[in-house]
Amino acid sequence: MFGLKNSCSILVDEEYKSMDDYQGGMSRWCPGCGDNGILSAVQRLCRDEQLPSEKTAFVSGIGCAARFPHYMATYGFHGLHGRALPTAQGIRIRRPDLHVFVNMGDGDCCSIGTAHWIHAVRMNLNMTAMLHDNNIYGLTKMQASPTTPQGMKTNTTPTGSALKALNPLTTTLGITNASFVAQVVEWIPELLYDVIRQAHHHKGFAFVRILQRCPHFMPTLWDGLLSHPDSLMMLQHEDGMHMSDALGKIYKNHETHDPSNIHRAREIAEREDVVPIGVLYRDENVPTYDELKRPARTPDIEQRRDLLETTFDRFGIFPGTSEVNIDGQA
Amino acid sequence: MALKTEFMALTIMTEMPMVLVDVQRGGPSTGLPTKVEQGDLLAAIFGTPGDAPKIVMAPSTIEDCFYSMITARKIAETFRTLVVVLSDANLATGQQAFPRPKFNEEWVGTPIDQSPVGKNKDAYDWDPKTGLSQRFIPGQPGGEYTLTGLAHTRKSKVAYEPGVNQEGCRARSLKLAAFQKTLKPPKVYGDPEGDLLIVGWGSTRGAIEEAVRNCREDGLKVSALHLRFLQPMASGIREILQRFKNVMTVEINYSDDMKDELIDEENRRYANLAWLLRARYLIDIDCWSNVHGQPIKPGAIEGMIHERLNHEVQS
């Protein structure tokens, strides 16, 4: 039928990857942990995009969120606390053929990894960075992180966290060369998927802050958002997050926001009365470091020889002669 | 190197080939940031928490720096390990003419393997004898695994069972032994036996050998030994050391002076290489070292050798 051979369609079926094909080890996060929702959304993205698992790399630091690569059946790098981004950048620079995803916790990204975060935004390498933000160090059992709300009692702040929480959105939007900044919550799968998908398709460094539940250590953290849907301000635009009509009836606080408007994005990010959800900023015209610095070609062995010989010539000296050519002959 | 310690440990744990060049300067802390020192040898070998076996080598001349990088890269990729190359401020800022290198295709790394991996292959198929394993590289279908700095099984799965960490540590340690079996014993400069052997490493080679040559012309029975590989060390070094009445190292790092009132054999802190040789070979090895932040001149070594050997003769 339609000139297709039967064998062709069977082959397509065999090669089609289901979500199960992207599942690595079984997740060992706590029951109800928001990381599970993020994992599902990402596996769904991999399936919908049919990403080749051998050409996809998940990179993480240390923490609960950092277990993420182990639960994917792709290549992964579970590295050092705070150093997920430089590792991912190294992979990206050397292997532009790979799809690179980064999973960081709020301790990972906003505390020990802050310098890497700033420079990763500025270098704007093509990758999707997810900040799993549960406002606490969960793996080490409840110490305050930079995004822990002021006044929160934790093991390291027994009388309440003294400082106001760091705002990862305003921070990222303030960094030179920011090209994609979004915020979403993990408990609305439709929006989580849509934002991560857009981040994946963005040309450049896509930063997605995902508000994440930690039922074990922060059981009431997001109660306000869960019981008052209007506290989430849904940013909608044809170039931004898309929301179904059905969902729009539950979350009624909508705002039309053009993601190309950085000034408005910064104003929205500053809001403390509501939590903005959606793509705050997107600019695909920001040059990516891989574009700027990628060699035009990979030299073959002959070209390497020529490059080396040229370098040797540059440093060469030829005793006893005043004028010489590159063969060393006067 | 202080700043790179955690990444060094990560490459060792994940068995990612890496070459790290440490241009040694005066320490500790910011120390003498523009001056030479050979103070990082023990830190390079032992400075990583936990058992972190790695290869440590030191070039002796600027020409040697060029070839050492090629060698180090080959070793790192072959043994899937970290190779630390200990250069120093002398080598880094000095100038030296040497014969133009002749390009060799073997210098160039092999292309990245992107061929499919067979079914059910382990990410670390540690050979029980050598500890070596093949490395899967992103792009190889079927090889998908997650590198981790945590203790892991052969499948690179995080695991804390007692046998798992023991097996991983054993494999990473055995790789050093496998590499050590490929090393040739170093050659003695001067006679293979005598009254005094000066052992050195790194950029002091020229000064030590010049001093030894001059002393030998004066009739002193002194020889020199230069060590290019510091960790692991080649077989046969013990036999070399045993053929001399006295053995000492000459290094640019701090060691206690026996003339200081409080210093005795029970508390003396030795120069880096002297510590290593004493521990490895159970030979009473002396040292002469300083941290003036300057290259050690042949004349100073000569004077020291004369003083030591004349003192020997008198006593």
Rounded Cα gap, residues B52 and B147, in angstroms: 17
Where are the strands (E) in chain A, listed by range? 56-60, 75-78, 99-105, 127-133, 136-137, 143-144, 180-185, 205-211, 232-236, 254-256, 275-282
Query: pTM above 0.90?
Result: yes
> Which residue in this structure is represented by tokens 């420079």?
A119
Buried b (16+ CB within 10 A) or exposed e, A68-101: bbbbbbbbbbbbbbbbbbbbbbebbeebeebbbb
Closest chain B residue by Cα to residue A51: B139
Q: Is A93 on the interface with B (CB under 8 A)?
A: no
Q: Is A77 on the interface with B (CB under 8 A)?
A: yes
Q: Which of A86, A88, A134 is nearest to A113 (CA)?
A: A86
Query: What integer pLDDT is reported at residue A328 of this predicted model?
Result: 43
> Quick check: helix, strand or coil at residue A138?
coil
> Quick check: helix, strand or coil at residue B22?
strand
Distance to chain B for A260, nearest Cα, Å: 35
Distance to chain A for B293, nearest Cα, Å: 28
Name every chain B residue with its beta carbon within 8 A of the beta carbon of A62.
149
Identify the weakest region by mean pLDDT among A92-106, A162-176, B63-77, B104-118.
Answer: B104-118
Taking residues B67-93, report their average pLDDT: 97
pLDDT higher than threshold 60 for residue B251 = yes
Residues facing residue A218 across a β-bridge: A214
Q: Do A95 and B138 touch (CB under 8 A)?
A: yes
Query: What integer pLDDT is reported at residue A200 of this predicted model?
Result: 98
Beta pairing class for B18-26 and B82-88: parallel
Contacts of B54 (CB under 8 A, 6+ apart): B8, B12, B44, B45, B48, B81, B82, B83, B84, B176, B231
Q: Do A78 and B101 touch (CB under 8 A)?
A: no
Beta pairing class for A180-185 and A143-144: unpaired
Cα atoms found within 13 Å of the Cα of residue A262, Cβ hemisphere only: 16
Rounded Cα gap, residues B71 and B164, in angstroms: 32
Distance to chain A for B205, nearest Cα, Å: 24
Q: Is A89 on the interface with B (CB under 8 A)?
A: no
Phi, psi at A137, each rounded to 5°:
-85, 105
Name every chain B residue with its beta carbon within 8 A of the beta carbon of A115.
none
Name every chain B residue with its beta carbon within 8 A of the beta carbon of A83.
6-7
Distances (CA, A) of B274 to B42, B227, B230: 10, 12, 12
Identify the weakest region by mean pLDDT among A81-95, A248-262, B42-56, B298-312.
Answer: B298-312
Q: Which of B100, B101, B146 sits opposite A69 (nearest CB)?
A: B146
Query: What integer pLDDT is reported at residue A1 of this predicted model?
Result: 45
Distance to chain A for B153, nearest Cα, Å: 13
Interface test with B, best of A43, A46, A75 (most B CBs within 10 A): A75
Taking residues B112-126, report their average pLDDT: 93
Name every chain B residue with its beta carbon within 8 A of the beta carbon of A65.
none
Rounded Cα gap, residues A101 and A74, in angstroms: 11
Neighbours of B311 (CB within 10 A): 9
pLDDT higher than threshold 90 for residue B188 = yes
Distance to chain A for B248, nearest Cα, Å: 38
How does residue B242 score in pLDDT terms, banded at 50, 70 and 90? very high
Query: What integer pLDDT is reported at residue A6 of this predicted model?
Result: 54
Q: Do A74 and B101 touch (CB under 8 A)?
A: no
Query: What integer pLDDT is reported at residue A330 of this predicted model?
Result: 39
Q: Which of A146, A90, A141 is nearest to A114 (CA)?
A: A146
Read off the amino acid at residue B297.
Answer: K
Q: Do A70 and B148 touch (CB under 8 A)?
A: yes
Name every chain A residue with its beta carbon within 8 A of the beta carbon of B103.
305, 308-309
Rounded Cα gap, residues A61 and A65, in angstroms: 8
Distance to chain B for A139, nearest Cα, Å: 14
Query: What integer pLDDT is reported at residue A327 of this predicted model?
Result: 47
Q: Do A308 and B148 touch (CB under 8 A)?
A: no
Closest chain A residue by Cα to residue B117: A54
Name every chain B residue with its beta carbon within 8 A of the beta carbon of A75.
138, 143-146
Where are the strands (E) in A187-269, listed by range? 205-211, 232-236, 254-256
Beta carbon pairs, A and B, within 8 Å: 71
Q: Do A75 and B6 touch (CB under 8 A)?
A: no
Contacts of B119 (CB under 8 A, 6+ apart): B142
Q: Is B102 on the interface with A (CB under 8 A)?
A: no
Interface test with A, best of B67, B95, B119, B144 (most A CBs within 10 A): B144
Q: Could you say which residues of chain A have pLDDT below 50?
A: 1, 322-330
Q: Which of B100, B140, B144 sits opposite A73 (nearest CB)?
A: B144
Q: Do A75 and B100 touch (CB under 8 A)?
A: no
Neighbours of A140 (CB within 10 A): 13
Distance to chain A for B254, nearest Cα, Å: 33
Identify the weakest region by mean pLDDT among A93-107, A290-304, B72-86, B179-193.
Answer: A290-304
Distances (CA, A) of B309 to B200, B208, B244, B314: 18, 16, 13, 9
Query: What integer pLDDT is reported at residue B108 of this predicted model?
Result: 87
- Helix H or strand E segment including A263: helix A262-270
Distances (CA, A) of B84 to A70, B17, B138, B253: 30, 11, 25, 18
Residue A172 sits at the vertex; the CA angle it makes with A170 and A176, to the nearest 5 degrees, is 115
Q: Which of B162, B136, B179 is nearest to B14 (CA)?
A: B136
Q: A119-148 pLDDT, tens per residue?
A: 999 999 999 999 999 999 999 999 999 999
pLDDT higher than threshold 50 for residue B77 = yes
Q: Which of B7, B105, B157 sits opposite A80 (nearest CB)?
A: B7
pLDDT higher than threshold 60 for residue B314 = no
